[in-house]
């Protein structure tokens, strides 16, 4: 079975390149995290900002040093109000392709 992968492109060093996401999950009482497994072996975990006015919408605010050049894997971790954990996507990680800044 072939699984298509989602690829997102960003530029190294950017901190204003927020990543906005929408899923069909009720996020009331939940916490959401972006987990970035960088090509250099470093793991970056950032809490998402949940949009309370739009169910299922959230975004990450990257910090200085988060986005380094390379092809990295990205997962979303959702912890619901009862503490149950769900990782998305379920079939293959998102690819975050970060090009070097010119």
The pLDDT tens digits of the residues spanning 53-65 come to 888 889 999 999 9
- Mean pLDDT throughout 72-79? 94
33 within a domain of the structure (yes/no): yes
27 within a domain of the structure (yes/no): yes
77 within a domain of the structure (yes/no): yes
Residue 32 CB neighbours (<10 A): 22
1 within a domain of the structure (yes/no): no
pLDDT > 90? residue 11: yes
pLDDT grade for 19, boundaries at 50, 70 and 90? confident
Q: What is the CATH number of the domain that holds 71?
A: 2.60.40.1220
84 within a domain of the structure (yes/no): yes
72 within a domain of the structure (yes/no): yes
Residues 95 and 72 sit within 8 Å (Cβ to Cβ): yes
Number of domains into which the chain is organized: 1
Mind listing the pLDDT tens digit for each residue in 37-49? 999 999 999 999 9
Model confidence, pTM:
0.84
Following DSSP, what letter does each residue of 54-84 receive, concatenated? Answer: STTEEEE-PPTTT--SEEEEEEEEEE-TT--
75 within a domain of the structure (yes/no): yes
Sign of CA dihedral 62, 67, 71, 77: negative
30: domain range? 7-99
């Amino acid at each position: 079975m072939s699984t298509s992968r989602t690829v997102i492109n960003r530029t190294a060093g950017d901190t204003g390149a927020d990543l906005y996401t929408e899923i069909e999950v009720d996020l009331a009482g939940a916490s959401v995290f972006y987990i970035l497994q960088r090509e250099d072996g470093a793991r970056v975990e950032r809490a998402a900002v949940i949009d309370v006015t739009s169910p299922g919408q959230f975004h990450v605010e990257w910090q200085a040093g988060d986005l380094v050049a390379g092809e990295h894997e990205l997962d979303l971790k959702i912890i619901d109000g009862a503490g149950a954990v769900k990782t998305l996507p379920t079939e293959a990680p998102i690819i975050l392709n970060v090009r070097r800044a010119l």
